[in-house]
Amino acid sequence: MKKLSLGMAFALAFVSFVSCAGAEIGEVDVTGGRVAGVSANGIVSFKGIPFAAPPVHSLRWKAPQPVEKWAGVKQASAYGASCMQDPNMLKFFGAGPAISEDCLYLNVWTPAKTANDKLPVMVWIYGGGFVLGMTGSPAYDGTHLAEKGVVMVSIAYRVGVFGFLADPELSRENGGASGNYGLEDMIAGLQWVKSNIGRFGGDPSRVTIFGESAGGLAVNMLTASPAAKGLFQRAISESGGSMAPPRFGSEGGETVPPLKVAEASGHAFLAKLGVNDMKAARALDAGKIQTALGPGLQGGFWPVFDGKILPGDEYELYKAGRFNDTPVLIGTNSDEGALFAVPGVTTALFEKQIRDGFGTHADAILAAYPHASDAAAAKATNDVLRDSTFAWHTWAWATLQSEKGKGKAYVYYFDHRTPQSPNGATHGSEIAYVFHNFGQGDGVNALSAPARPEDIAMADLLSAYWTNFAKNADPNGQALPTWPAFTAAEQRVMFLDAHPSARPVPNMTQIKALNSYYAWRREEGKSRKGN
């Protein structure tokens, strides 16, 4: 009998061990209520978790408010609706058709077996020119990143006029600032992560924010926002620095307006809609407002130097040491300007565009970009877009981080070429490799043809670098090519191409020409009213 009891005890212990080894986090109590996830191949996904109240009616153009509580268990099995934008973009990005102002939802993928696993957390911020974008694109599915030992989160934020309208009346409502509701949504999402991610097996003290294009710009903005302080410990920006001076008009390479300029633009838009106060504007149908913006990337609404969420010129903030100092991993793609270039550029047209945008520094810019033939002018157009929109900002950010911060800067240059992009890596093309998601129907970011062995190898490399950085604040790891930190004295960047290795900064002649231009614009802007 004694032997039988011992055998039963052993069997029970074994069953208990097997049960624990295969355990998953299936239901979680979060702010607002309880959610149930969906398990598949060792990863549990929770989709469509509300992190703020629906920003509708009187909450339109206001900071996100606390989430509304729900009863019972919410089945977190489907993405929330995409935020208001051109509905044609949803199909383009492979997302579901639902679109609504009620869109402040986030998603979690976790490989954790218990809430005590304390895995590093990666929080994705989508791109789309601050006019479009959604978490529901299959290109952003977090399963494969979670398989590498991180808890993956993606958060939604308002875009276009719903996310970035400034107006004098709105500023009076909000203590003298308006126009950054989309950024405030991201901050609210990060606050939710800090409060809740531990229950999914994540470590709230090891949070990495990462994003591409507008999402990458947002990452840079969050590193300079006092409101985001302490909400993340690492930052990854793919094609997204925002280090230029304020935009007052049509200055080349500048995008963020000061509050007075943004208020005037927003007020003019509301007047176009036939309303003259916020009560009337908030009563308008959301579809009517969206239609007035026009299709695609039109609309002209962008984050604002409001003095609150974005205190001012980020270059100056970094120089003064006023930023959220974390390690950063940042970079650009070799041919990303091609996505934005208008066809039919001639030598004469290129010169006119540069002279219209770059003022007294136009001659120096023209000298840095050979354009003697129409073919050369077309390439120069692509390269100016690449460098003035992405590459200079990344270089300036890395330089200031290495000079003024304690966190290290790791810089990359993505130049993986495919039969579809023989001239270089296009804008957003690295996303498929970072997420290890191929053929997902995303009109910009997915690899359209079947993945080749070299594509799989590049995805293995990028996803390893990115998740290593999330785990250790350093992308390096066993069997990976060594990636040195960037310093102002020794400016080395990781070329991610057929032979990955650290090399000098590419296109440095052009970056230096743009650096002189931005220094001039910065001094010129200081004398303008409204800066």
Q: Measured between alpha carbons, how far is 250 from 125 in angstroms, rounded to an integer?
A: 27
The predicted-structure confidence for 188-246, as pLDDT tens digits, reads as follows: 999 999 999 999 999 999 999 999 999 999 999 999 999 999 999 999 999 999 999 99
| C-alpha span between 390 and 243 (Å, rounded) | 10
List the catalytic residues: 213, 336, 427
Q: What is the 3-state secondary structure (H, E, C) of 454-481?
A: HHHHHHHHHHHHHHHHHHHCCCCCCCCC
Q: Tell me, what's the pLDDT at 444? A: 52
Find out whether 95 and 136 touch, Cβ atoms under 8 Å. Answer: yes
- Give 182-199 pLDDT, tens digit per residue: 999 999 999 999 999 999
Query: How many helices (H) and strands (E) in the chain?
Result: 18, 14
Angle between helix axes 214-223 and 181-196 (nearest 10 degrees) is 70
Amino acid letter, 48: G
Whether residue 28 contacts residue 37, with contact meaning beta carbons closer than 8 Å, is answered with yes
* pLDDT on residue 250: 87
Phi, psi of 320 (to 5 degrees): -85, 0
Please report the pLDDT score of residue 450 as a whole number: 82
DSSP E strands, 309-360: 328-333
How far is it, in rounded angstroms, from Cα 121 to Cα 3? Answer: 48
Instruction: Give the per-residue SS3 of 152-218.
Output: EEEECCCCHHHHHCCCHHHHHHCCCCCCCHHHHHHHHHHHHHHHHHHHHCEEEEEEEEEEECHHHHH
pTM higher than the cut 0.85: yes
Q: Which residues touch 510 (CB under 8 Å, ≥6 apart)?
A: 368, 369, 383, 384, 387, 391
Report the topology of domain 35-342+398-500.
Rossmann fold (3.40.50)
**What pLDDT, on a 0 to 100 scale, did the predictor assign at position 526?**
80
Burial of 140 (0-12, 13-18, 19+ CB in 10 A): buried
Low pLDDT (below 50) residues in the chain: 1-21, 442-443, 445-446, 530-531
**Residue ranges covered by each domain of the chain:** 35-342+398-500
Task: Identify the three-state secondary structure at position 331.
Answer: strand
Question: Which H helix or E strand runs over 511?
Answer: helix 508-526
Answer yes or no: are the C-beta atoms of 130 and 296 closer than 8 Å.
no
| Euclidean distance between CA atoms 270 and 2, whole angstroms | 84
Structure confidence at residue 16 (pLDDT): 36
**Tokens of residue 136, six digits:** 């529901």
